[in-house]
Every structure is written in structure tokens, then in C-alpha cells.
RNA sequence: GCGCCCGUAGCCGAGUGGAUAAGGCGUCAGCCUCCGAAGCUGAAGAUCGCUGGUUCGAUUCCAGCCGGGCGCACCA
């Protein structure tokens, strides 16, 4: 429809020029948009305003020239699709469409079903979205929850928008933190067997470490106490990381997140990719030695300072494996790599960007979604969280306490560019009137209507004669609803383009509002069979779009609540 | 000090150059003999942090300032 309007404007501009109403035939960048307010038509264009300078005329005069030259589309049996064109405000040209122009949207939804709203803007471009990637040294907490909700939804949205998406979790199963984990478990294990141990502060303090120690004893037997400490610690480390990781996996699944791939940091060492990456950079003279350590010239790529990849003790840094890791991603064939990080990691962006560029990729191929931090509260008071101290509310606690749908909603209802206060008391206590239910309620309500229609034998009519009576949809609320529905794909595209899932949420809220308003004013099932049929088709369309939209956010669409 | 993010009604917030600045919570007044009231209708409530600049037009872009959050390791 938009392209149709655009053509009309372009034709009119050409004609106006030929008729001498406009001095120049230049066509500037114009937009066809949906006006914000009622009474401003279904579409509008800023053509006149953006032409003001080239035409050297007042916007409203230009608009008049266009309107005078416009020829409406061919009138069908029931009249023009575009009913009226008028000039408003500083020079907007507003187009008013007839009801007939909107009716086919309902058919389209029923036809396309779970693909309605899908787009091909991605052109099957290969995109990887990596998110959460928490160290397997402890359970996931709220912050990870927000990252999980964002990453998962962004992946869903990009896929729906036509990208070839892979969701990946990077497992930091190598390095110092894992060793610390092993030591922590080992010491707890020793303590459990009566050995006097000094438990250092930099070890993980949580009770789950004690549980893990017990499990190691059960699995490995008492024999582990006889082993060399270094070996025992390694056994503990491997065991504990494996246990924690499967816990993380389970918690994410409960949260509705399923990955396409779990990628191990250790595998980069096993395959020699980390030293290989360092050697490659050395060959390009991107690495130099100073103070016994190896430094990567990230400053040459815009970073504040150069960064260490191999410490003076010979151990590689986390950054070194990240260089190899990101290189590996592109080698796997991804055109775009998107990392979802907590805002506290923002200082790391330039470093990875430098690595990406240094391996010959374009900076635009690497994007970071920085998710601002979550401030966990309980009854208005901050909850102190520290992995080390072992005091935290886990993602699992949150899923159990407020529910997956409500939690995901909380995380996705607003832009991740802002910090988020997550109050457990509030989320729980208000779960009954949490806005996510406002949207889900639409789905359940319509399910109820359809059930009723079914018992009256009306449902088969929709299936067999869809679209037959759509011309009966003439109420303002009905047309408003259809217009909302027709805008779904555009919102999906906007969300995919900006990588902001909350766009979908905002859309769903306003669609839900339009439906509830309609529902309260009009009966869907009436004595008039044809009218009922048309309205059932409409609400069925609403139901499908709600389901599709909620699905992108990883929120369920219940038949009953 | 430097860097990133944020500053929109009592509170939470949408808005990536346009016409009357969404929506939710809270407050006030109404709506269920009728497809689900987890709903609807109406009312009150905003100098869009401040000051300049760019533009026909700025909440939106730029600069400076103020306020808040987070970073600035041979940790991850």
C-alpha cells in the first residue's frame, strides 16, 4: 500500500511539473508514513516540506500542486481505494483509504498464519548471536536473565526478518576462574573430611560449592583424597564446571532459551587456534614484546592502549582466546557477529573490534548489544549480589518466583539502553496485573470466542469461506484493528534493524489495547451469520498476530488463563 | 581525569528530524441479567535536566554544562 501511495505522489509530481505547477522536476528523499493521530489519514507524506528548498516554494503551495495533479487509483465496483487526499499542518499530504483497501489484510493473515509478519529483509545473511556466555563457576543471576531474554529475542526477531541466525553460548571452560573453582571445591571437600583448611577469600564462597564437593565425593569416591592436590583440583574443576554448566543449560531452558550451539573456549586451545592467532598477528607485526609480556597493538585500531595477550608468566589472557574465538566465528561463515554483553564490559568493545578488523573483517560486521545492568530489589531495598560471596538471587529463583513469561516481559518491555530496577516483591505481588497478561489475555479471550463459535458451528464457515464477508467490517474499531495488524511486519523489520526487541512489545501492547477496545464495544458473534463470520475472521487474525509477536519475545500465548 | 549508557507527568517509561509527546502504575469518576472485568470509558497530571548551535521544523542531531549508573588489570 505504501509503495502504491509513493507511486501516486511521484506521478503527481511529474504531472505537476509538466503542467507548470512546479518549477523543477527534482524528487527529494521523501517519506510515506503512518500519521500518529486520528484525523490525519492512513498515510501521509512530507514530500512538500522536503521539496520546499529545491522548488523555492512554500510547502503548502507545493502540496496543493501535488493534490491538484494527483489521480486516484482505478475505482473498483465499490469505489476508490484512496478516498480522499488533503493538505494539513505545515504541508503534509494525507491520504485517506477506504475500508475496502484494508480488508485483504485479514485474508493475508489467515493465509500466512505463523509466517505473517515475516520479512525477507535479511536476505538469508548469516548472523550469529552470542549471549549469556557466563562462566560455569556459579548459577546464572538476574543480569544473565536480561541478557538471555534480549539475546534470545533478538535472534528470534532476526530469523523472522529473514536472517539465517545461529544462537551460541561461549563456555569459558579454560583459565584461572575454572582453576579457582576447582580449588574451591577441593578445599570444601577436604574440610568435609575433617582436614583443617584455610579457605581463601578469592575462592567461591557459595553453599553450592559444598554441594558440589559432596557430589564429587559420591562420584569419584574417597580415593580422590589420596591423589596429588593438583590432579585432585583438576578433577574437581572439570566435574564442577560440568555440573554447573548443565545447571545453567537447564535454567536457560526453563527460561525458554535454547541454543543452536555451545562453544568451548578450551577447544580453541585443543585445536591450537589461540597460538595460531597470535602467530598470525606476529607475522603482521601487530604484536610486540614489552616487560616480558606480548602486547597486541589495539591502539592502532582506536583502542585507548595496547592490550596484553600473553602475560609475562607465559599464560595467555582471556583476550587472546577471544581473538581466536572471533576469528573462528567468521571462518564458520557468519557475515555478522553480534555479542550481547553486560554494560560493565563496554570497555572491551574496542579491543574485540580491533581484533576483528585486524583479521581482515569490517568493523560493521561486529556488533555489541550492551545490556545495561539490572538492579535487583526486594521491597524497594537493594539485594546485594556477589558471586564470590555466594549471595545472590539466581535466574532460577526468578523464574520460579515470578514466572517465565512475566520475567521475560520485564526484561523486554523497555530498551536495554537503560538500567532496570527489578523488584522481586513488586514483580511477584503485581503478577496479576502485570502488562504481559494484558497481551496474553487477548489471546485467551479470543480463544474463548472461537470455542463458542465452534459450538455454534460457525468456525467451519471461517475456514471454508474466508474473506467472503470481510466487507462487513466497517466499524471504526474494526478498521483500526486491521490497520494495526497490517503494521506488524514493519515493526518486525524495525526491531530487526535496530536490534531492539522492545519494539515488538510496544507493538503488542497497542494491538492489545485496540482489541480490548473493540471487544468492549462490539459483539463478535451476532445474529447476523455473515457479519459474525467476518468478525471471527478478524479476531482470529488478531489471535495469530499476538501469538506470532509473543513468540518472538519468548512469551507463551495461552488458550486459557 | 578519560570512556560508554541514561535523564520525558508522583513513579516506570515509548518516541532515532515533522502536525495535538504513546502506554503502564498510582489518583479520581463511571461500565458486568450480554462472546472471559487479568477488561473498557472518561478526568486530572509534562517548562521532554540546563544552555547554546544546525534546520523551514529538534524530545530526536551537534557542543558545553549539571545529575545518575557502569567501566578504565600482565582478571574474566
Closest-CA residue to A204 (of A235, A237, A229): A237
Closest-CA residue to A549 (of A421, A416, A398, A438): A438
| Coil/strand/helix, residue A127 | strand
Nearest protein residue to nucleotide B36, judged by CA and C1' positions? A445
Backbone dihedral region of A296: left (phi > 0), alpha (psi from -120 to 50 degrees) or beta?
beta
Interatomic distance A521 CA / B23 C1' (Å): 21
Cell numbers linked to A143: 543480569
List pLDDT tens digits, range A80-127: 788 889 888 888 999 999 988 999 999 999 999 999 999 999 999 999
A415 touches strand B (CB under 7 A): yes
Interatomic distance A164 CA / B54 C1' (Å): 40
* Chain A 177-236 residues in 7 Å CB range of strand B: 177
**DSSP code at position A22:** S
Q: What is the pLDDT of residue A241?
A: 94
**pLDDT category, A72, cuts 50, 70, 90?**
confident
Q: Please report which helix (H) or strand (E) contains residue A83, including its range.
A: strand A82-88
List pLDDT tens digits, range A362-376: 999 999 999 999 988
Q: Rounded distance, CA A296 to CA A281, Å?
A: 8
Better-scored residue on pLDDT, A388 or A254:
A254
Q: What is the pLDDT of residue A432?
A: 66
For residues A96 and A42, is the Cβ–Cβ distance under 8 A? yes
How far does Cα A270 stand from its chain's mean position? 33
Which nucleotides of strand B are protein-proximal, with an atom < 7 A from a CB?
2-7, 12-16, 18-20, 22-26, 34-41, 56, 68-76
Q: Rounded distance, CA A139 to CA A395, Å?
A: 8
Asked whether the predicted pLDDT for residue A252 surpasses 80, the reply is yes
- Name the nucleotide with the smallest C1'–CA separation from A495: B16
Interatomic distance A402 CA / B76 C1' (Å): 30
Q: What is the pLDDT of residue A284?
A: 94
Length of chain A: 561
* Chain A 52-71 residues in 7 Å CB range of strand B: 52-53, 59
Interatomic distance A73 CA / B55 C1' (Å): 35
Cα A324–A144–A395 angle (5° rounding)? 140
Better-scored residue on pLDDT, A506 or A456:
A506
For residues A330 and A270, is the Cβ–Cβ distance under 8 A? no
**pLDDT category, A333, cuts 50, 70, 90?**
very high
Cell numbers linked to A22: 512546479
Cβ neighbors of A498 (< 8 A, separation 6 or more) are none
Query: For A213-228, b where at least 16 C-beta lie within 10 A, e where not — what string?
Result: beebbeebeeebeeee
A384 touches strand B (CB under 7 A): no
Residue with cell 521523501: A30
Nearest protein residue to nucleotide B3, judged by CA and C1' positions? A347
- Name the nucleotide with the smallest C1'–CA separation from A174: B76
Residue with cell 504531472: A15
**Quick count: other Cβ atoms within 10 Å of Cβ A41?**
21
Q: Rounded distance, CA A106 to CA A114, Å?
A: 14
Q: Rounded distance, CA A374 to CA A376, Å?
A: 6
Asked whether the predicted pLDDT for residue A463 surpasses 60, the reply is no
Q: What is the pTM of this model?
A: 0.93
Q: What is the pLDDT of residue A388?
A: 55
Report chain A's C-alpha Rg in angstroms. Answer: 30
A319 touches strand B (CB under 7 A): yes
Interatomic distance A152 CA / B35 C1' (Å): 36
Cβ neighbors of A323 (< 8 A, separation 6 or more) are A274, A277, A278, A281, A296, A309, A352, A355, A359
Cell numbers linked to A4: 502504491
A92 touches strand B (CB under 7 A): yes
Q: What is the pLDDT of residue A84?
A: 87
For A46-52, the CB contacts below 8 A with 24+ separation are: A46/A91, A46/A92, A47/A9, A47/A13, A47/A93, A48/A87, A48/A91, A48/A92, A48/A93, A49/A90, A49/A91, A49/A92, A51/A26, A52/A91
The β-bridge partners of A263 are: A170
The ipTM value here is 0.94
- Name the nucleotide with the smallest C1'–CA separation from A559: B36
**Quick count: other Cβ atoms within 10 Å of Cβ A336?**
21
Amino acid at each position: 500500500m505504501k509503495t502504491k501511495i509513493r507511486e501516486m505522489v511521484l506521478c503527481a509530481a511529474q504531472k505537476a511539473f509538466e503542467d507548470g505547477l512546479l518549477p523543477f522536476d527534482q524528487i527529494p528523499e521523501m517519506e510515506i508514513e503512518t500519521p500518529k493521530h486520528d484525523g490525519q489519514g492512513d498515510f501521509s507524506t512530507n514530500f512538500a516540506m522536503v521539496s520546499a528548498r529545491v522548488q523555492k516554494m512554500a510547502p503548502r503551495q507545493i502540496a496543493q500542486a501535488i493534490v491538484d495533479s494527483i489521480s486516484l487509483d482505478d475505482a473498483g465496483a465499490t469505489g476508490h481505494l484512496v478516498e480522499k487526499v488533503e493538505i494539513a499542518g505545515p504541508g503534509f499530504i494525507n491520504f485517506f483509504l477506504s475500508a475496502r483497501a484494508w480488508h485483504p489484510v485479514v485474508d493475508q493473515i489467515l493465509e500466512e498464519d505463523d509466517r505473517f509478519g515475516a520479512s525477507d529483509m535479511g536476505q538469508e545473511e548469516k548472523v550469529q548471536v552470542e549471549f549469556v556466555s557466563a562462566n560455569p563457576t556459579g548459577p546464572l543471576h538476574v543480569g544473565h536473565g536480561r541478557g538471555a531474554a534480549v539475546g534470545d529475542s533478538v535472534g528470534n526477531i532476526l530469523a523472522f526478518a529473514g536472517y539465517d541466525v545461529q544462537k551460541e553460548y561461549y563456555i569459558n571452560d579454560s583459565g584461572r576462574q575454572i582453576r579457582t573453582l576447582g580449588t574451591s571445591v577441593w578445599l570444601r571437600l577436604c574440610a568435609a573430611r575433617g582436614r583443617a583448611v584455610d579457605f581463601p577469600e578469592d575462592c567461591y564462597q557459595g553453599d553450592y560449592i559444598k554441594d558440589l564437593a559432596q557430589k564429587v565425593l559420591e562420584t569419584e569416591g574417597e580415593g580422590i583424597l589420596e591423589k596429588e592436590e593438583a590432579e585432585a583440583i583438576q578433577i574437581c574443576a572439570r566435574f564442577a564446571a560440568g555440573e554447573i554448566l548443565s545447571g545453567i543449560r537447564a535454567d536457560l531452558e526453563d527460561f525458554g532459551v535454547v541454543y543452536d550451539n555451545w562453544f568451548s573456549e578450551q577447544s580453541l586451545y585443543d585445536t591450537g587456534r589461540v597460538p595460531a592467532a597470535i602467530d598470525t598477528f606476529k607475522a603482521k607485526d601487530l604484536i610486540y614484546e614489552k616487560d616480558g609480556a606480548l602486547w597486541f597493538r589495539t591502539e592502532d585500531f582506536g583502542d585507548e592502549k595496547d592490550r596484553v595477550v600473553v602475560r609475562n608468566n607465559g599464560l595467555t589472557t582471556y583476550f587472546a582466546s577471544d581473538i581466536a574465538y572471533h576469528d573462528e566465528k567468521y571462518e564458520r561463515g557468519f557475515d555478522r557477529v553480534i555479542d550481547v554483553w553486560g554494560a560493565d564490559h563496554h570497555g572491551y568493545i574496542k579491543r574485540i573490534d580491533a581484533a576483528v578488523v585486524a583479521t581482515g573483517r569490517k568493523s560493521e560486521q561486529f556488533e555489541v548489544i550492551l545490556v545495561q545492568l539490572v538492579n535487583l530489589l526486594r521491597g524497594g531495598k537493594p539485594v546485594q549480589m556477589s558471586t564470590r560471596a555466594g549471595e545472590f538471587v539466581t535466574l532460577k529463583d526468578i523464574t520460579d518466583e515470578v514466572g517465565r513469561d512475566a520475567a521475560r516481559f520485564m526484561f523486554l518491555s523497555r530498551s536495554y539502553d537503560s538500567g532496570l530496577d527489578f523488584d522481586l516483591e513488586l514483580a511477584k505481588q503485581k503478577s496479576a496485573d502485570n502488562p504481559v497478561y494484558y497481551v496474553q489475555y487477548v489471546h485467551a479471550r479470543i480463544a474463548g470466542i472461537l470455542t463458542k463459535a465452534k459450538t455454534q458451528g460457525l468456525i467451519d464457515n471461517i475456514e471454508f469461506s474466508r474473506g467472503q464477508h470481510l466487507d462487513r467490517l466497517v466499524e471504526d474499531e474494526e478498521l483500526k484493528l486491521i490497520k494495526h495488524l497490517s503494521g506488524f511486519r514493519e515493526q518486525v523489520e524495525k526491531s530487526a534493524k535496530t536490534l531492539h526487541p522492545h519494539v515488538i512489545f510496544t507493538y503488542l501492547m497497542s494491538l492489545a489495547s485496540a482489541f480490548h477496545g473493540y471487544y468492549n464495544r462490539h459483539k463478535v458473534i451476532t445474529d447476523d451469520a455473515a457479519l459474525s463470520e467476518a468478525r471471527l475472521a478478524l479476531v482470529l487474525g488478531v489471535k495469530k498476530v499476538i501469538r506470532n509477536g509473543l513468540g518472538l519475545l519468548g512469551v507463551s500465548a495461552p488458550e486459557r488463563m
